[in-house]
């Protein structure tokens, strides 16, 4: 199963990942039909979580059951912020540990080895995106097996509910490569998740100074097993039979998670003192807590720009959820702000020519357009709308807040992140990765460089609570004048490895890595102080810590610190393009080789020099298929059809195959929603003509509207509700019942607004994260009315709705 490219190996062919059709014979087919085996048999993943740092060991087992030597090529996703730190191969009794070398040298060494009949293994990061890697297993002789061991370390992100999120990317959807993008893209060979020909096993061990309260997942897990009585250590396994239809996500919850900590890790004994790997490294984890008096007041100004993905892969539930989310956002915006909504695919649209002041009229106009939004704009071209947004002048005294919603399937990740960073002084960027396979490098990178917050919405997650948390962050006063100072023994100096902290949010973790140079006594202590100003109030958080290294941490913190420094230098190198070379690339290569952590300029290379037998015969290439989640197969009559989609000078063609995989070449522009017929707009995927006609004639069934959203949709921009039959219906009452229960002295709007608030508090407390901001706006409107009979309205409203909500709970 999978897409099989058969070719004889040529010198230096590994320098370019895409393999173009027309230059070789393409044979694609389901394993059951074509009987062509995939050499990757199984993947075993072991996760070790220590507090909020994870070490992941993946073992990929290969076997060549063909009668010719093979080269197996596997393009797969990893977390965008992972530090890959070990790569080795086991062939029979021989273990070969890979070295980190400059990327071009590693590629040449790999090619030379294969040309001379040796076995070789190459692991490298994509030039376009740090969350895609390619693994090449070269010259695997007939009947031979090989086990590849890959190890990386990563930090776990803190979620809105204080859970720590680990994601094992198992899905790699084809990435859209815009026309005219720099560099060749990655070839992704994809099959439907249900047809993946290899298995996955996954186990996790969790340990922390604090008790592990629970572990949740979007996949089926075996029960959590505690390893000690104080419940600070536990193990959990993925239930057998993972279907590859989703990334494997773990949410780990500790008791008292918001404790600031500092961990010191000893240097490598064999490394030179004074070097990064030879000196101790400290990781400081801070959770700033802001005064409640400041946090209870939200900004009443700002320019809110929402950028919504409407590419074909956003169809069905994703676009419905996006529409509902935009409704909540528009109802929750403060009076006096400005806003605009952009949407994008292979082109982009905006509701207003420029951001407009928020009012009843502009809100209603925007909502009408939002209700008509469909996933019908083609590919995922995010760069051009971003450029347009940044070209718009900022509005005086209205800080710009950008919210980006995308499934993240783009091929020019680094270009997008660089653009956000270039404009970081004029806005904050909040990003949302929607669905399985969203690029973690893109979503996290945009938020990090844009001084905002990143959220991922997968599986059955509701988008709305996560987005509303980010809106709360955006409405918080900006934290300014952030500085970090160190107080250490006189003989110890500090070199900070992390980029400067530019953003702080209430309850969100900030991590700092630093190298400690010099000798200190066992009892020595250090202190780190975080200073900042919030709403004109200077504040500081201090953390005292022991300089004594922790036990059994290995070199995890060193590698994460090196990864931080490497990413900062890579960004600096991209900023310097076209200028005189400042030796930044050489610094990255040197640091990568020294620390054993991969970079965009290096690769892991292993050559089996112990094998004296030269491998004979032409080398056959096998592309290992990666699971994807969009429906690349469409039923047509009695056959299952898939399509190769190629772009050529803006014209598109389809090759129909009776096969089970789709191979999309990412160096050609891909507009999946406009491929088939120039006068046809589909939901983003190729379909047969008769299918498309039936789709056009069928009226899609809309699911009944959620009662909460029904009530929210009736709120005015000012924050109040109007007394009318639509409100009565949303409350589950008749218009007569509502009118009859109104206290005599109460105005219609005050009565309607109090009823809506009572209903929210009485029946929808489980969704408070979603409506809290619009309820605060309603309460502010009520307070501004100085209504004389609020208490009487609350009592009457409770009787009518069968609730017992206190007036104080409503914020009145």
Burial (0-12, 13-18, 19+ Cβ within 10 Å), 614: exposed
Q: What's the farthest any 2 CA atoms get from each other in the chain?
A: 98
> Of 76-80, 585-589, 622-626, which gets the smallest average pLDDT?
622-626
Cβ–Cβ under 8 Å, residues 776 and 757: no
Residue 468 has pLDDT above 70, yes or no: yes
Q: How, if at all, do strands 626-628 and 187-192 pair?
A: parallel
Residue 248 has pLDDT above 50, yes or no: yes
Residue appearing with tokens 């969350």:
131
Q: How, if at all, do strands 199-207 and 40-50 pair?
A: parallel
Distances in Å between the Cα of 507 and the Cα atoms of 162, 287, 422, 483, 659 are 9, 6, 27, 18, 51
Which tokens is 64 given? 């060549």
Cβ–Cβ under 8 Å, residues 722 and 716: yes
Residue 142 has pLDDT above 50, yes or no: yes
Residue 36 has pLDDT above 70, yes or no: no
CA distance 151 to 742: 67
Packed helices 317-332 and 360-371: angle between N→C axes, nearest 10 degrees: 180
Residue 345 has pLDDT above 70, yes or no: yes
pLDDT tens string 515-562: 999 988 878 999 999 999 887 888 888 999 999 998 777 899 999 999
Q: Which long-range contacts (CB under 8 A, 24 or more apart) does 366-373 make?
A: 366/330, 366/339, 366/341, 367/327, 367/330, 367/713, 369/341, 370/323, 370/326, 370/327, 370/330, 370/341, 371/323, 373/308, 373/310, 373/319, 373/322, 373/323, 373/326, 373/343
pLDDT tens string 594-614: 999 999 999 999 998 876 666
* DSSP H or E stretch at residue 526: strand 525-534
Residue 372 has pLDDT above 60, yes or no: yes
> Of 12-16, 446-450, 589-593, 750-754, which gets the smallest average pLDDT?
12-16
Cβ–Cβ under 8 Å, residues 249 and 437: no
Nearest Cα neighbor of 334 from 710, 781, 761 is 781
Q: Please state the pTM of the whole predicted model.
A: 0.77
Cβ–Cβ under 8 Å, residues 451 and 504: no
Distances in Å between the Cα of 221 and the Cα atoms of 47, 203, 234, 391, 435 are 14, 9, 13, 48, 20
E strands, 345-426, in order: 348-350, 356-357, 400-406
Residue 307 has pLDDT above 90, yes or no: yes
Residue 576 has pLDDT above 60, yes or no: yes
Please report, in angstroms and rounded to a whole number, the separation of the first and last CA atoms in the chain: 64
Residue 631 has pLDDT above 50, yes or no: no
CA distance 505 to 348: 31
| Secondary structure letter of residue 735 according to DSSP | H
CA distance 661 to 189: 7
CA distance 304 to 473: 13
- CA atoms lying within 13 Å on the CB side of residue 128: 25
Which tokens is 774 given? 């619009």
Residue 495 has pLDDT above 90, yes or no: yes
Those residues whose C-beta lies under 8 Å from the C-beta of residue 784, and which sit 6 or more positions away, are: none
Which tokens is 147 given? 């086990």
CA distance 448 to 77: 20
∠510-51-212 over CA atoms, to 5°?
Answer: 125
What mean pLDDT comes out for the span 648-671? 31
CA distance 328 to 764: 15
| Secondary structure letter of residue 326 according to DSSP | H
Residue 79 has pLDDT above 60, yes or no: yes
| pLDDT of res. 510 | 87
Packed helices 413-422 and 440-449: angle between N→C axes, nearest 10 degrees: 10
Question: What percent of the chain clears pLDDT 90, i.e. is strictly above it?
Answer: 44
CA distance 704 to 150: 48
| pLDDT of res. 702 | 58
Q: Phi and psi of 766, rounded to 5°? A: -70, -15
What mean pLDDT comes out for the span 476-493? 90
Q: Phi and psi of 391, rounded to 5°? A: -80, -15
* pLDDT band, very low/low/confident/very high, at 65 (cuts 50, 70, 90): confident
* Ramachandran bin of 343, using left for φ above 0, alpha for ψ from -120 to 50, beta for the remaining angles: beta
Cβ–Cβ under 8 Å, residues 723 and 751: yes
CA distance 626 to 190: 5
pLDDT tens string 393-441: 999 888 899 999 998 767 788 889 999 998 988 889 999 998 877 888 8
Nearest Cα neighbor of 163 from 206, 131, 201 is 206
Residue 153 has pLDDT above 80, yes or no: yes
E strands, 132-197, in order: 132-140, 145-155, 157-158, 164-168, 187-192
Those residues whose C-beta lies under 8 Å from the C-beta of residue 372, and which sit 6 or more positions away, are: none
CA distance 16 to 21: 14
| pLDDT of res. 419 | 94
pLDDT tens string 397-406: 888 999 999 9
Question: What percent of the chain clears pLDDT 70, i.e. is strictly above it?
Answer: 79
Alpha helices in 654-706 (DSSP H): 689-697
Instruction: Report the mean per-residue pLDDT for the chain.
Output: 80
Residue 761 has pLDDT above 90, yes or no: yes
> Of 85-94, 227-236, 323-332, which gets the smallest average pLDDT?
85-94
> Of 99-103, 307-311, 558-562, 620-624, which gets the smallest average pLDDT?
620-624
Please state the separation of Cα 483 from the chain's center in Å. Answer: 28
Cβ–Cβ under 8 Å, residues 299 and 271: no
Helix, strand, coil distribution of the chain in percent, nearest 5: 25, 30, 40
Which tokens is 10 given? 């040529």
Nearest Cα neighbor of 721 from 804, 797, 807 is 797
Nearest Cα neighbor of 295 from 805, 807, 772, 812 is 772
pLDDT tens string 683-714: 333 333 333 344 444 445 556 678 999 999 99
| pLDDT of res. 181 | 52
pLDDT tens string 259-290: 788 999 999 989 998 999 999 999 999 888 77
Residues paired with residue 579 on neighbouring β-strands, in sequence order:
none
What mean pLDDT comes out for the span 711-727? 95
Those residues whose C-beta lies under 8 Å from the C-beta of residue 612, and which sit 6 or more positions away, are: none
CA distance 89 to 98: 8
Cβ–Cβ under 8 Å, residues 251 and 215: yes
Burial (0-12, 13-18, 19+ Cβ within 10 Å), 256: exposed
Those residues whose C-beta lies under 8 Å from the C-beta of residue 88, and which sit 6 or more positions away, are: 95, 96, 97, 98, 148, 149, 606
CA distance 351 to 526: 54
| pLDDT of res. 364 | 96
């Amino acid at each position: 199963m999978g897409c099989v490219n058969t070719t004889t190996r040529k010198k230096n062919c590994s320098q370019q990942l895409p393999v173009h059709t027309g230059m070789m014979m393409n044979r694609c087919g389901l394993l059951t039909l074509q009987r062509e085996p995939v050499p990757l048999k199984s993947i075993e993943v072991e996760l070790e979580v220590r507090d909020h740092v994870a070490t992941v060991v993946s073992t990929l087992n290969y076997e060549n059951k063909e009668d010719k030597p093979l080269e197996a090529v596997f393009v797969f996703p990893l977390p965008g912020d992972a530090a890959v730190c070990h790569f080795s191969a086991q062939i029979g009794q021989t273990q070969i540990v890979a070295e980190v070398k400059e990327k071009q040298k590693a590629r040449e060494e790999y090619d030379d080895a294969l040309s001379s009949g040796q076995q070789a293994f190459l692991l490298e990061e994509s030039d376009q995106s740090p969350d895609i890697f390619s693994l090449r297993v070269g010259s695997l002789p007939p009947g031979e097996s090989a086990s590849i061991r890959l190890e990386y370390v990563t930090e776990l992100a803190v979620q809105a509910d204080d859970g720590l999120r680990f994601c094992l990317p198992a899905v790699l959807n084809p990435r859209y490569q815009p026309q005219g993008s720099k560099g060749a893209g990655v070839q992704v060979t994809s099959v439907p998740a249900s047809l993946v020909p290899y298995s996955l096993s996954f186990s996790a061990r969790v340990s922390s100074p604090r008790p592990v309260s629970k572990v949740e997942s979007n996949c089926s897990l075996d029960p959590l097993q505690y390893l000690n009585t104080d419940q600070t250590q536990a193990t959990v396994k993925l239930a057998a039979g993972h279907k590859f239809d989703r990334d494997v996500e773990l949410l780990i919850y500790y008791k008292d998670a918001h404790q600031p900590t500092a961990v010191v890790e000893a240097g490598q004994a064999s490394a030179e003192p004074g070097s990064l790997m030879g000196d101790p490294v400290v990781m400081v984890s801070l959770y700033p807590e802001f005064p409640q008096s400041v946090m209870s007041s939200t900004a009443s100004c700002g320019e809110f720009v929402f950028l919504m993905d409407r590419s074909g892969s956003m169809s069905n539930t994703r676009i419905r959820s996006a529409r509902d989310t935009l409704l909540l956002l528009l109802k929750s915006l403060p009076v006096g702000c400005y806003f605009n909504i952009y949407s994008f695919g292979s082109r982009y649209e905006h509701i207003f020519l420029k951001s407009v002041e928020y009012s009843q009229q502009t809100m209603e106009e925007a909502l009408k357009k939002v209700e008509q939004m469909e996933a019908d704009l083609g590919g995922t071209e995010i760069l051009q709308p971003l450029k347009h947004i940044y070209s718009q002048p900022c509005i005086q005294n209205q800080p710009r807040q950008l919210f980006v919603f995308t499934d993240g399937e783009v091929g020019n990740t680094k270009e997008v992140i660089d653009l956000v960073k270039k404009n970081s002084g004029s806005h904050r960027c909040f990003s949302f990765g929607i669905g399985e396979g969203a690029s973690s490098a893109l979503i996290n990178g945009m938020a990090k460089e844009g001084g905002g917050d990143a959220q991922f919405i997968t599986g059955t997650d509701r988008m709305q609570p996560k987005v509303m948390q980010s809106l709360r962050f955006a409405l918080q006063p900006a934290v300014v004048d952030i500085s970090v100072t160190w107080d250490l023994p006189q003989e110890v100096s500090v070199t900070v490895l992390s980029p400067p902290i530019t953003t702080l949010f209430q309850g969100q973790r900030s991590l700092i890595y630093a190298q400690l140079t010099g000798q200190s006594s066992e009892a020595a202590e250090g202190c780190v102080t975080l200073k900042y100003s919030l709403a004109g109030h200077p504040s500081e958080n201090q953390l005292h810590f022991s300089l004594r290294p922790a036990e059994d941490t290995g070199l995890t913190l060193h590698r994460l610190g090196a990864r931080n420094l490497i990413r900062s230098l890579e960004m600096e190198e991209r900023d310097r393009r076209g200028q005189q070379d400042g030796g930044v690339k050489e610094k990255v290569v040197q640091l990568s080789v020294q620390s054993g952590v991969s970079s965009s300029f290096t690769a892991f290379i292993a050559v089996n020099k112990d094998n004296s037998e030269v491998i004979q015969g032409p080398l056959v290439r096998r592309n290992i298929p990666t699971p994807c989640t969009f429906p690349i197969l469409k039923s047509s009559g009695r056959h299952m059809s898939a399509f190769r989609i190629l772009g050529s000078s803006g014209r598109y063609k389809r090759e129909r195959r009776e096969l089970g995989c789709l191979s999309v070449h990412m160096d050609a522009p891909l507009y999946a929603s406009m491929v088939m017929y120039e006068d046809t707009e589909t939901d983003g995927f190729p379909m047969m003509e008769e299918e498309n006609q039936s789709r056009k004639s069928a009226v899609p069934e809309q699911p009944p509207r959620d009662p909460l959203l029904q009530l929210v949709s009736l709120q005015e921009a000012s924050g109040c509700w109007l007394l009318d039959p639509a409100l009565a219906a949303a409350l589950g009452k008749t218009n007569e019942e509502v009118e009859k229960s109104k206290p005599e002295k109460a105005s219609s709007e005050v009565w309607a607004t109090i009823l809506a608030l009572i209903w929210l508090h009485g029946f929808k407390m489980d969704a408070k994260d979603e409506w809290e901001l619009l309820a605060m706006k309603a309460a502010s409107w009520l307070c501004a009315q100085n209504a004389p009979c609020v208490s009487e309205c609350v009592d009457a409203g409770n009787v009518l709705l069968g609730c017992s909500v206190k007036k104080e709970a409503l914020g009145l």
